[in-house]
Amino acid sequence: MAKPGLSWLAAGMIVLGSVAATEADARQRSPATYTIVIDKMAFGAPPSGLHVGDTILWVNRDLFRHTATAADHSFNVDLAPGKSAPVTLTRAGRVAFTCTFHPGMKGVLNISP
């Protein structure tokens, strides 16, 4: 014969397991898409809240060709005037980027796991 407290213990473990699963589901998020515009020889402000799996759409509204080149080699986008290209973020951390044609153009992405 089972002890009466055992059924309460089992029920409590199920509830705790359900709470943990719900919290894990809440932490999971769908990847988002952000835009960084290049204009007047400058990168627009990098968005906050970036995560691995998110996409940056780089848009060149300038009259000149530009790149968005990561210092860690995780991405390199070469954009003619009026063109755009997406990059999916694959690494967490602080990722510095620059334009290889115009080294004074710089920025940093802060990417969370």
* Pair 23, 58 in one domain: no
> How far apart (Å, rounded) are the C-alpha atoms in residues 82 and 37?
11
Predicted structure pTM score: 0.75
pLDDT digits (tens, 9 = 90+) for 86-103: 999 999 999 999 999 999
> Across the chain, where does the E strand assignment appear?
33-39, 42-43, 50-51, 55-60, 66-70, 76-79, 84-88, 93-98, 106-112
Instruction: Check which CATH number belongs to the domain holding 91 and give it.
Output: 2.60.40.420
Query: Is the Cα dihedral 85, 91, 94, 99 positive or negative?
Result: negative
Say if residues 49 and 69 touch (Cβ distance below 8 Å). no
Q: Which of 5-19, 39-53, 71-85, 95-109 has the lowest mean pLDDT?
A: 5-19
- Structural domain containing residue 12: 1-29
* Pair 10, 59 in one domain: no
pLDDT digits (tens, 9 = 90+) for 20-43: 443 454 468 899 999 999 999 999
Which tokens go with 98? 């620059």
> Under DSSP, is residue 67 helix (H, G, I), strand (E, B) or coil?
strand
Query: How many distinct structural domains can be found in the chain?
Result: 2
* Pair 21, 39 in one domain: no
